[in-house]
Every structure is written in structure tokens, then in C-alpha cells.
Structure 1
């Protein structure tokens, strides 16, 4: 078991947090000023785990911004005099009281115990930036992570943030809040947010980050899964839960930020079976997760069986890994590499665990559930999408709206979305295309093969002619019975409407 951190507890004192925020603001401690300070190339190198380029760029700079950059961004000790000058309001005493650093009296320095970095975001209300505190990473620690490590804003956090359907809600729940980034983002379009976590340290970080950024509509609660919100319902539930599949055993590190303590993909199953009880009518739940393919049963099929009947379900699998690739990914994530003696025993533990359950592959993806209209057929879409996505939250929102629209039938008049293009592929010397594709520039970036009849239908959807008029004209053109043509076109037209390639005329 990886050791628990011995760093000071985080103490989110409102007055100290307010004073620190004022000092950070006065020093212009933001992403762009920092990037200008040490240069774009050095900033990009930090994302790859290299601090040296930044240190060389600001080696002789003792300005407040450079001091705070070395202390909070890189996690390096700084002279106490420089820290006092950079933080005149909160002072070193306040930093220590918050649990963000400790004094090293022997060298008159302050040693950071956390990272605190600016984090930019873009949402429906515009561009903004938070200050986000989290535990020191592997680069700053110079060792593997402790078991109670609180992760900062990583790739999974950014992915979930992009997926959340951007609509105003009254009450929202962030289950497994970690450092609180999802709760902060959701708070911008929610009246009230409840953020839960099983880790007291994570909740302290979340509360501190809310204080630093002046966010007052988040309530933090301790507990596992839905226990802290028993009997409550929400319009939006978001979760980046600790879904990583980890072998159970004393010799395998169990990191609180990624390991939910259950066997296999049981945590995702538990979430999907439980969340419907906590959704209001029209309420949406969104999460990231893993699911296992076992004994010939595909992971997507297993996961489909966990979703209660009557709910809208839209699941997108982004990738599928072999047991070996999955084990290596997460062993490295904890800071252990093949050069370390612990790597091989960990790899064997992971592979033994998968073999015991006859796991052949592990899928990763996005899940959206909604308590939809009681009088409509529930949405059931399970698909694999591997191409890059553009504003997936808006694409999900548009798809749900289209599903609701189609519940009352195909709109009378349609027009082609502005990001749709058509590609035709012809064999040399042949005037008739062998392949016709409709390509979506935004959203999920879909490429859909169509035949001549559907291509002609889409081409005629300019908002002037009705669907009935277009189909009637095409029946005459292709000399086929109207009913036969419509029976062929209708399900594919519905799909194009759902996918956002065809839109209802205003």
C-alpha cells in the first residue's frame, strides 16, 4: 500500500483564502502572464514533466510573479523574504495556516506542500480562469504518489467539463469532486451545487478552491457514492468517479483519486443502477467510466444491462485497451515505470486479476443518462466514436433536443446544418459516384455514407420545400412508388436529424 501523505492538513480559512486571492490577483498570477514570463516552449515543457526550461528562463527573477511561479506552479522552496514580498496580505503565516506550505527555519525558506495553478476554461458564459490547488505531483515530489493524493486538473477533468450539457439547472451534484473543478464549473449555471467525496483531504481542497475563486453556491459533503445525498434529487449529476480497475491486495497501491475500492467495473455498475433515484424529471447524469469485456460478453453489452428501463441512455466508447495495455497505463500513472523494481509485481497483479474474471478488453468512454419524457420511447444509443470531438456537450444537448423533437414525428420542413459538406468518390471514367458521404464539421464529426436518393433528399432540404414535397418529387424522378421510397428514407432521415446534419426549420 502506498503511504498516506504526511503533509499538513488543508485548512480552508475564509479570511486567509481571501487574502491569498488578493495577493495572487495583485501579482497577476494567471496563465497568460506566467506563459509570457517564461516563454511558450518552457510552458509546454512543463506539461511533459520538465521544470528545467522554466527555471532557466526565470533564474535571476525575484519578482512576485516569478517567486509565486516557482513556489506554486513548480513546487519549489523559496526564500521567506521573497515569499513575504510576493504575498503581503496573507503573509507566510497565512500560507502555513492554510496548509499550503511549511517553514524551513534552517535555510530561512518556505517549502510548498501543494501546487496552486491557474486553470483557464471556456463555457457558454464566456472565458474565465480559476486558481486550483491540489497535491504536489510526481515531478515536485520526486517519488510515487501517496495514497491520499488529491489530483489537480488533468485530462479526464477537462474531458468531463467539455461533455457536460450546457444548460441552466436548479440543483446539481458533483459526485467524487476531488479538487472541486467540476463543481466550480457547474456552479456557473446551477443555482446550488452539492459536491461529495470519500476523501476529507479532497473536500478540504474543494472548499479552499471555492473560497479562492469567490464561489459561494457549493456545499461540500463527506461520504461514499450517493450516501451523502440520500433521498435527494438533482437536475444534473456529474461524476469523474474513481473508476480505475485495480487489483485488490496489500501490495497494490490504492489511490483514492482513482480507485473506488470495488472489484473490476463494479463501481460504474453501482453508479448507473443508483443514479436514477437521484434525478428529477428531465434530469441528466453524466460520467466517465471503464467497463470490462468478460468471457465473450462485450463490455458495452454488459454495461447496457446495468441501466434501468425507461431512462434515456447515450453511451460513447472512446477506446478499448487490452489487459496488458490497461495495466501498464495505470501503473505508470502512479509513478512506477518498468525501470522500477515494483513494476513487474504490479503488472503481474493486474494481469492475474483480469485473468481471474476472464477479462479480454477494457473500454473507456462517456455515459449520459436522462429521465426523459414518460410518453416517448427512451433513447438507447450505444456507439463507438474515436475521432476528435468539437464541443461534445453542445452536441449531446442538440441530440437530446432532436430526440424529443422526433418523438412527435419528423418536422415538416428541414434544412442542412451549416457545417455539413458532401464528398463524392468516382472511379476513373465513371460519371456515377461509387461512394457518397455526408461529413459533419462540428459536433461529433460524423461521416455518413448515403445513396443517391438520400443525397438528393438532403440536397433539396433548403427550408423552402416540405419533406413531403421533396419525397414526392424524388419518387417521380427515380420512378419508384412514393410509399416504398419513404419507407427506405424515413429511418435514415430521422438519424440525420438526430445526428444534427438536418435541422428543423425555425
Structure 2
């Protein structure tokens, strides 16, 4: 793979040409239609090629053929598509390469595609370079592969708390996408990676999109920032559990070289030493289930000796065969191809030898105590099903609200909570189910439309409280009214409702008025 060179003159000229070509997510999708775009997401480019065959060649079709389809184009078409930067400059920068004995064709040396997003600052769009994937290469990726945008990318970028801070650390930056998102809410970002190529590509992406304020440092985990602290740490670390056996590829973008889930443990244990008081971290990771051991209990033990607030959300759990097959396919080796069965054997041997029965995947949110040595206010380890609310890519606002709710609740005992004013969140609805012919509901469920899309079973008293929570009356006044209407003891009802109201505040179904 040619070295990627981040020359500001080249990246600014390339940005001008991509803009002139209309190289956006919408422009590319319109180029070959929604069906072909969907097929490309499945790794099939036939429909897109058929659509292009009926169109006149334009700079947009040339750029999309190169960087989305991963196919060569005539040199004359490339020259037309890149009039400002020039083909030679892109070859020198490691973006393109010349093919043919007379240089009659130009082929992509990088994947470079448009990317669109929405965060609390509004809509944005970038171009993101990464290494060519299997579709363009025609074979499995290399162990030095620098990954582009995937599902984990959008998950973590959406998980980042959209609150302005001074310094952010992006641990294991890869192509730099998380550092670029972090920079939108930070004065400065430090982005680290163990891969020189990843840092070259990340630097190229920042320059291409006119983003300054990111410092790139080479090194493993926290080594490049020893002794430093940050207001926020974000990381999609190379957490994939990989057998330490000859013949099993160790992809840099996903494998940190440690046994089992030791890398995730190392990262999580290192957070306390690198967060300022009140600083937060948002990470992805996975953890092992072992004979007689719950995976979330393992994660809980990693924080046992810290004063950090910790919230771990397990989104899914895979058994050993499914986990192995997922990541072997991810590396480009498919079922039925040479070596696939041997790799599955290696994974299953590793899991058997270490008594692993499953692997959980999810999110980790951490907050350092505002005052060093203070007690943790949040230790929450939960399993939340895959179905999310209306905006699964924007969980950062939910994380920020939850952390605020933790602080609000920690400062109020039951007497103070009873004197507080609460209102129901605007995305909460109520479902009621009845037996035929009955006037009274048999099941009442509070449903959260956003955030984690939580569903909370409610009895008559809880449903009545939520229905009356408009911020006007205090918690105690509403509970007293419900006790009077239902003819129950007010003290007993208060003792029953207050813990459940705390849970609803924590989950965002009720908000401080």
C-alpha cells in the first residue's frame, strides 16, 4: 500500500474538486438509485454498474466509480474529474495509482467516500478516507488495514456527549472519525494509535475536511498521554477477542494483541488516571462470559477499587461459534473458502481452553468524581435489547441527561424528592391492554419514544402519577392526592412510589421541572 501523505495543498485542492463534482451522500445515491445503494451496502456492485452504463460519464460518476465501487477509470476521465488537484498529485499523495503499460487507467489506492451526520450542532458532511475493502481488492484485507466508517463508528460518534469541553482524548483513532466528531465540541483533541498508517490517514482526513485542533500521537493505549488528563475520553478500542495462534490474522484495527478481553479491561482500568475531576468517557467494548461467571460482573469487578460513576449497557451477546464466524467474515474469509473452518477451530479452541461461554458487546460510560475521593453515585450494569428509540445514532444527549439526572438525584433524599417538581418527558406515551368486556386495563406500560426506548410496566398508582406530572404540583402533593383517591395509606404509597420515581428520572421518562 502506498504511503498516504497529508499535504495541505493537495487536500484543499482535492476538496475543491470533490465539492465541484457534487460528491455527497445524496449525490452518490441519486447517481445509481436507492436499490443499487442498498446492494452496495450488502457488498454487491452489479446494480450500480448497470445504472452507470446508461449514463453519460461525469466527474461525479468518475469519482464514485473510483472510490465507492473501487474500480479503475480512464486517465482522461480522472483528469476531467480532478482539474484542480491533478492526477499526479493524487498519485504522489497515495490516493490514486496509475495502471497499464502506458498509464491509460487510474485506480484507487484508498477508499474515499462521503459521510453525512447530524449532531447537536446541526447537520454536517465530510469525506472519509480509509483502506480499500474486500470489494475493491478482490481478496481478504491485510492485517495493517485501516478501517473506514461502519456500524461501530456511528454508534460511538452518536454516544459522544454533546457538551463543550477543553480537551478530548481519542484512544485508538483509526481513520480519525471519532477525533473529528470530538473536535466539534472540544477546544483541542489528542488522537492516538499504534498504527503509523492509521495516523497518516487520520491526518489526511482532518486536513481534507478543514478540521484543525487535532494532535496525532503514535503509541499503544495510554502510553502517548502518560501523566495527562482529559475532560473527555472516547474510544472504539481494538477489542475483538482473537486467538493467539499462528495462522490467525491479527488485524490492527480490531485486535490489540492481548488475550481475551484483557485489552478492554486495561483501557477501562486506565480511565481513572486520565480523567479530570468530573470528566467523562464513552467507549465501546466486549467482555467474556465464563463458566459460572457473568460478563457484566466481570466488568463490574474492573471498577471495584475506583470512585468512578459507571454505566455499562450490554446491547447483545453472542455464543462462541457465532462470535468466531462474525469476525472471521469481517476479515474477508467467507464460509466455504479455504481456511474458514481452520479459523473457526482456532477460535473455538481458544474459548474452550479459557472456559468462555459467550461474549457480550455494548457501551461503557464513565464519569470521574467531581471531587477526588468522592463516592460513586452511579453503578449501573444492565442489558438493553437491540431496539432503540427514535434516534439510535444520537444517544450522546441521553448519556448527558442521564449523568445530569444522577447528580440531581444524588443531591436529594426522599424528603427533598417529595418537595421537588417533576414533569413527564415529551416522548413518553402509555399503552393499555384490556380483556374483552373489561373496563379496567390488565396491563399498563409507559413507553419511551427516544433514548433507549425503554418500556416500564406501571400499576394504577404509577400511571396516575405520570399522568399528573406536569411540573405544577410537588411529588408529595401528587402522591397525597393519589392516596386520597385510591383510599390507601399515604406513607405506604410514598415508600412504594419514590424508588420507582427515581428510576423514571434516571431513565428520562420523568424530568425535573
Please give the range of the TM-score, normalised by the shorter of the 2 chains. over 0.9
> How far apart are 1:105 and its partner, in Å?
4.3
Does residue 380 of structure 1 match 2:385?
no
**Secondary structure at the counterpart of residue 463 of structure 1:** strand
Q: Is the 8 A contact 2:377 2:407 kept in 1?
A: no
Partner of 1:416: 424
Partner of 1:18: 12
Partner of 1:85: 80
Alignment of 1:186-335 (within 5 A): 186-307=182-303, 308-335=305-332
Q: Is the 8 A contact 1:119 1:130 kept in 2?
A: yes
Q: Is the 8 A contact 1:388 1:445 kept in 2?
A: yes
Q: Indicate the larger mover: 106-115 or 343-352.
A: 106-115
Does residue 73 of structure 1 match 2:81?
no
Q: Is the 8 A contact 1:313 1:367 kept in 2?
A: yes
> How far apart are 1:310 and its partner, in Å?
1.1
Partner of 1:399: 402
How far does the alpha carbon of each residue in 1:397-454 deviate from its partner, in whole angstroms, 9 at most, with x for none?
1111111111122261111111111222222333333222111111111110121122
Q: Which one of 453, 456, 466 corresponds to residue 461 of structure 2?
A: 453
Q: How many residues get paired?
A: 499
2:343 and 2:286 map into 1 onto residues whose CA distance is 20
1:237 and 1:473 map into 2 onto residues whose CA distance is 46
Q: Indicate the larger mover: 204-213 or 379-388.
A: 379-388
Q: Indicate the larger mover: 386-395 or 302-311.
A: 386-395
Partner of 1:153: 149
Partner of 1:49: 43
1:216 and 1:251 map into 2 onto residues whose CA distance is 41
1:377 and 1:142 map into 2 onto residues whose CA distance is 51
CA RMSD of superposed structures (Å): 1.3
**Secondary structure at the counterpart of residue 442 of structure 1:** coil
> How far apart are 1:392 and its partner, in Å?
1.6
**Secondary structure at the counterpart of residue 464 of structure 1:** strand
Partner of 2:480: 472
Q: Is the 8 A contact 1:17 1:98 kept in 2?
A: no
How far does the alpha carbon of each residue in 1:282-322 deviate from its partner, in whole angstroms, 9 at most, with x for none?
11111111100112101000111012421110110000000
Q: Indicate the larger mover: 302-311 or 268-277.
A: 302-311
Q: Indicate the larger mover: 81-90 or 218-227.
A: 81-90
Does residue 426 of structure 1 match 2:422?
no
Q: Is the 8 A contact 1:376 1:407 kept in 2?
A: no
Q: Is the 8 A contact 2:423 2:470 kept in 1?
A: yes
1:298 and 1:377 map into 2 onto residues whose CA distance is 22
1:367 and 1:61 map into 2 onto residues whose CA distance is 49
**Secondary structure at the counterpart of residue 264 of structure 1:** coil
2:197 and 2:56 map into 1 onto residues whose CA distance is 34
Q: Is the 8 A contact 2:428 2:449 kept in 1?
A: yes
How far does the alpha carbon of each residue in 1:14-41 deviate from its partner, in whole angstroms, 9 at most, with x for none?
1111111111112121111122222222
1:425 and 1:74 map into 2 onto residues whose CA distance is 51
Q: Is the 8 A contact 1:377 1:407 kept in 2?
A: no
**Secondary structure at the counterpart of residue 377 of structure 2:** coil
Q: Is the 8 A contact 2:272 2:306 kept in 1?
A: no
1:324 and 1:159 map into 2 onto residues whose CA distance is 24
1:32 and 1:430 map into 2 onto residues whose CA distance is 52
Q: Indicate the larger mover: 454-463 or 284-293.
A: 454-463
How far does the alpha carbon of each residue in 1:85-129 deviate from its partner, in whole angstroms, 9 at most, with x for none?
111121111111111122224151112111110011111111111
How far does the alpha carbon of each residue in 1:168-198 deviate from its partner, in whole angstroms, 9 at most, with x for none?
1110011111111111111111100011100
2:171 and 2:121 map into 1 onto residues whose CA distance is 24
> How far apart are 1:376 and its partner, in Å?
5.9
1:173 and 1:34 map into 2 onto residues whose CA distance is 33
**Secondary structure at the counterpart of residue 305 of structure 1:** helix
Structure 2 length normalisation: TM-score? 0.95
**Secondary structure at the counterpart of residue 49 of structure 1:** coil
Q: Indicate the larger mover: 393-402 or 357-366.
A: 393-402
Structure 1 length normalisation: TM-score? 0.96
How far does the alpha carbon of each residue in 1:349-380 deviate from its partner, in whole angstroms, 9 at most, with x for none?
00000000100110000000101344565201
2:473 and 2:163 map into 1 onto residues whose CA distance is 32
**Secondary structure at the counterpart of residue 293 of structure 2:** coil
> How far apart are 1:62 and its partner, in Å?
2.3
> How far apart are 1:332 and its partner, in Å?
0.7
Partner of 1:340: 337
**Secondary structure at the counterpart of residue 58 of structure 1:** helix
**Secondary structure at the counterpart of residue 380 of structure 2:** strand
2:30 and 2:433 map into 1 onto residues whose CA distance is 47
**Secondary structure at the counterpart of residue 208 of structure 1:** helix
